[in-house]
Amino acid sequence: MAIEPRMWRELGLTDDEFQRVVDTIGREPTPTELAMFSVEWSEHCGYPRSRTLLALFPKTGKYASRVQGEDAGGVEVAPGLTVLFKMESHNHPSQVEPFQGAATGVGGIIRDIFTMGARPIAVLDPLRFGDLDEPLARYLLRGVVNGISFYGNCLGVPTIGGELQFEEPYRGNCLVNVMAVGVVQTDKIATSRATGENNPVMVVGNSTGRDGIGGASILASHEFGEDEEKRPTVQIGDPFTEKCLIEACLEALETGAIVGMKDMGAAGLTCTTCEMSAAGEHGMDIDLQKVPRREADMEPWEMMMSESQERMLIVAQRGREQEVLDIFGKWGLNAVVVGRVTADGVLRVRDDGEVVAELDARALASPPVYQLPAEEPSYYRENQAVDFADLPMPEDMTAVLRDLLSSPNIASARWVYEQYDHMVQTNTVVAPGGDAAVLRLKGYRQGIAVTTDGNGRYCYLDPYLGAQLVLAEGSRNLVCVGAEPAGVTDCLNFGNPEKPDRFWQFKRCVEGLADACRSFGLPVVSGNVSFYNETPDTAVYPTPVLGVVGVLDDVRRHCTAGFKQAGDVVLLLGETHEDLGGTEYVKRIHKRVAGRPPALDLEFEKKVQAVCLDVVRQGLAASAHDCSDGGLAAALAESCIFGNVGARIALGEHAAGVRLDARLFGESASRIILSVRPENADRVKEIAAGAQVPIAALGEVGGDELVVEADGVRRIAAKVAEMQRIWSEAIPSLMQQ
């Protein structure tokens, strides 16, 4: 059958890429081979446009990092115990079909964890949509949350955190990122390598259907055009099958009969067969007629492209096939030997006796690497010169605080996370809603804390600095609960990389993040790149979302953000500067997205975090809370709301030369609010002084309202009950429109 141009173009390959395929294999590909190249060489699977820059990320850090190059990565958090974690995107599918798009995102990321032998213990879901006063944003949010809660709740894996942000650039491309966390004994981590000539190759789990065909090569690797119908490329999830698959895979791994195992996510059979073969420097010979299928008339190329969910490819030890098959049969799952491992490095795909694909596995798994042009966008230099000196000063700062607390970017996300089961498995020590979630590790003194962070607005205004601020905030959130940051996973969400200004944003974000991770001693152990988040109208903000995992020496000694009792002293670690650029205050009150994001001194940031961590670990802190969106005033309000108690604050000489709105609502980095018992205040000040970190006594906890004075004048006075009502009702009220 002759290959026509429309065939490779419909599969997402350019004319140049098709010619590269021909040059690689020395002939014209078969239709099945063409389909396999289209998915494996797509940006979603092969990272041809981003791989060079991703090499900048550090792979080692303070804690021993494990399993580079597998479906997930992690750090050893206690002797012999590794926490594996990874974040991925399901943006395009969720924009097209929010329920299934989000649900299968959860299923897919969890498979990346248990395919390596780890028991999944947590899910986090950073979400971004257009403005919530638009019907489309409400429709997408409702569908995505329903999909996440359906899959995670049915699966019995707690959803313990995430983010919720709303900005106009996400209107045409919502961002649905999902992170999963699991634990495994370090010496029992499984790999995805196919080795051992004549070892059996098995397909286990669900049957193969037409759902998801083209998801990796077309849906996730191109811009959305107008009036395009994409629903057939969205996968369909079955959490009950996945629950059985978790148990069956972990049980099979315990037998020692498994050589390698890999999730059939994006690119399905193509991805697993070629990547496992290439990683193990072997080949495979498989027969598609043996693969369980839902539809009898599927073509070979459809079988190889299908992204049907809840499927795994396993290489078992020869002679132990039945042992493995019996385990999956016990759990009511398909388990079929479909081929064998070969020693020649060739991936052969047969269909009813006919060889429909015969390719060098390493060539298929090694897509070309593109060096794309990067061009600084015109807005960048103009924005760097923005001066807020003439920004009008609001007369009523209490009204500004109320307005900020009602912003969906600051308001309580309870409407979302109350739909998730965050207590299943009984590991959750600190629940969603604060700076970071805390989990116990059963049988260990240690615990872990997990958070996700991102700020597309900062990264749009200054990609290098913005990405570093994201890491700084994520790490700061962890020390506030008493955890030492240990490792990072990323989900890099950007527009079309073939546009030089978009690629410049990506390049600068990666460079900034790599430099910051190296400074913090944090390895990037896993991650995902999501390009082409763009419509004909606009691209999303450049949005690197980070999942950061930290370690608590003793999980019992953790801290939370809410003020605890009257009489506690309120302290502020760090310094306040005139940082208004990119803030929620300037956007919401002054209707502008402009200015340079808050300045960041990485060495100073590390000192602030070290002081906070020391104070929490010594049991000196009653509360600790990061200052971020909405600045100092919003952070104080949240600590009052969390603790259901007021505070009397006098800024005094703190930041006396800074304009008032920046003192209250500016988002200067490297600041943490502490509350401590009066008898501990001097000791905390000594620790800060020893680290050369400024610390200011702001006031004390007590009463039923937040009062903030500056320059001897009462600037804010708000009842805690009123703030709590505004903060908690904002999103539910918008969702009822």
DSSP track, 360-390: EHHHHTS-----------HHHHHHHT---TT
Do 295 and 386 belong together in one domain?
Answer: no
Do 574 and 716 belong together in one domain?
Answer: yes
pLDDT at 235 (0 to 100): 73
- The helix (run of H) or strand (run of E) holding residue 491 is strand 484-493
Q: Please state the rounded mean pLDDT for residues 273-287.
A: 97
The answer to whether residues 261 and 327 touch, using CB atoms and an 8 Å cutoff, is no
Residues 6+ apart with CB under 8 A from 23: none
Do 253 and 383 belong together in one domain?
Answer: no
pLDDT at 218 (0 to 100): 53
Segment 339-393, tens digit of pLDDT:
999 999 999 999 998 999 999 999 999 999 999 999 999 999 999 889 999 999 9
The answer to whether the Cα torsion of 635, 638, 642, 644 is positive or negative is: positive
229 confidence band (pLDDT: 50, 70, 90): very low
Helix, strand, or coil (residue 406): coil
543 confidence band (pLDDT: 50, 70, 90): very high
Do 733 and 607 belong together in one domain?
Answer: yes
Q: Is residue 677 part of a domain?
A: yes
Give the CA radius of gyration of the chain: 26
In 459-481, which positions are buried (b, 16+ CB within 10 angstroms) versus exposed (e)?
Answer: bbbbbbbbbbbbbbbbbbbbbbb
Helix, strand, or coil (residue 250): helix
**Closest C-alpha to 175, from 216, 144, 149:** 144
CATH number of the structural domain spanning residue 701: 3.90.650.10
Helix, strand, or coil (residue 710): strand
Cα separation, 390 vs 79, whole angstroms? 57
CA triple 134-454-514, angle to 5 deg: 150
pLDDT at 267 (0 to 100): 82
Q: Is residue 612 part of a domain?
A: yes
pTM above 0.85, yes or no: yes
The region, left, alpha or beta by phi > 0 then psi within -120 to 50, assigned to residue 496 is beta
Cα separation, 311 vs 729, whole angstroms? 41
- Clarify whether 44 is annotated catalytic: yes
Do 290 and 415 belong together in one domain?
Answer: no
pLDDT at 6 (0 to 100): 74
227 confidence band (pLDDT: 50, 70, 90): very low
Residues 6+ apart with CB under 8 A from 79: none
Do 361 and 389 belong together in one domain?
Answer: no
- Secondary-structure breakdown of the chain: helix, strand, coil percentages, each rounded to the nearest 5: 40, 25, 35
Tokens standing for residue 177: 């990122």
Do 598 and 626 belong together in one domain?
Answer: yes
**Closest C-alpha to 41, from 25, 26, 64, 20:** 20
Do 643 and 608 belong together in one domain?
Answer: yes
DSSP one-letter code for 196: S
pLDDT at 69 (0 to 100): 73
Q: Is residue 239 part of a domain?
A: yes
Residues 6+ apart with CB under 8 A from 429: 438, 439, 440, 447, 555, 558
Q: In terms of residue numbers, what domain contains 287? A: 1-41+190-366
266 confidence band (pLDDT: 50, 70, 90): confident
Cα separation, 150 vs 100, whole angstroms? 10
Q: Is residue 103 part of a domain?
A: no
**Closest C-alpha to 184, from 71, 332, 306, 319:** 71
**Closest C-alpha to 543, from 138, 218, 126, 145:** 126
Q: Is residue 627 part of a domain?
A: yes
Tokens standing for residue 395: 């007369």
Segment 78-124, tens digit of pLDDT:
999 999 999 999 999 999 999 999 999 999 999 999 999 999 999 99
Q: Is residue 346 part of a domain?
A: yes
Instruction: Quote the longest CA-to-CA distance of the chain.
Output: 87
Do 587 and 665 belong together in one domain?
Answer: yes
Q: How many domains does the chain have?
A: 2
Do 631 and 728 belong together in one domain?
Answer: yes
Do 605 and 712 belong together in one domain?
Answer: yes
The answer to whether residues 203 and 334 touch, using CB atoms and an 8 Å cutoff, is yes
**Average model confidence (pLDDT) for the chain?**
94
Q: Is residue 564 part of a domain?
A: yes
Full 3-state SS string of 5-53: HHHHHHCCCCHHHHHHHHHHHCCCCCHHHHHHHHHHCCHHHHCCCCHHH
The answer to whether residues 345 and 277 touch, using CB atoms and an 8 Å cutoff, is yes
Q: Which of 331, 366, 401 is the last residue of a domain?
A: 366
Do 198 and 261 belong together in one domain?
Answer: yes
Segment 634-660, tens digit of pLDDT:
999 999 999 999 999 999 989 899 999
pLDDT at 228 (0 to 100): 47
Q: Between 52 and 230, whose confidence is greater?
A: 52
Helix, strand, or coil (residue 78): strand
Q: Which of 345, 366, 387 is the last residue of a domain?
A: 366
Q: Please state the rounded mean pLDDT for residues 668-685.
A: 98
Q: Is residue 74 part of a domain?
A: no
Could you give the percent of the chain with pLDDT greater than 90?
87
417 confidence band (pLDDT: 50, 70, 90): very high
User: Is residue 295 pLDDT above 60, yes or no?
Assistant: yes
Which residue in the list 44, 282, 422, 577 is annotated as catalytic? 44
User: Is residue 215 pLDDT above 70, yes or no?
Assistant: no
pLDDT at 568 (0 to 100): 98
CA 152 from centroid of its chain's CA atoms: 16
pLDDT at 226 (0 to 100): 46
Q: Please state the rounded mean pLDDT for residues 506-517.
A: 98
Q: Please state the rounded mean pLDDT for residues 57-81.
A: 90
pLDDT at 499 (0 to 100): 96
